[in-house]
Amino acid sequence: MLIIVIASILILNAIFWGLIPVSKHSPHEMMLDFFEINYKPNVYFHLFIGTTFYILAVVLIHRSDLFFNYESIGDISSQQW
């Protein structure tokens, strides 16, 4: 259940950073102004961060598939029913 919550947060971050356009009145700029960070991200920064959050969510959800714990064809055919 915790994995689903974390993946959902990552997907929301991907949407937030990847799809909301850059402008001086965007939520990104409001957050940066609130925390008094003097950085103006451009479009490529938003695309990079959005893509990164999306890839992290996909890797987190499919983490068991990434280790390739599959049996070979010879092992499957030698099993007795």
Residue 30 has pLDDT above 60, yes or no: yes
Question: CA 63, CA 21: separation in Å to the nearest integer?
Answer: 31
1 against 65, higher pLDDT:
1
Question: CA 26, CA 43: separation in Å to the nearest integer?
Answer: 12
Task: Tell me the range of 2-16, 22-36, 53-67 where mean pLDDT is highest.
Answer: 2-16
Predicted pLDDT at 68? 55
Predicted pLDDT at 7? 92
Residue 9 has pLDDT above 80, yes or no: yes
Tokens of 4: 């689903």
pTM of this prediction?
A: 0.67
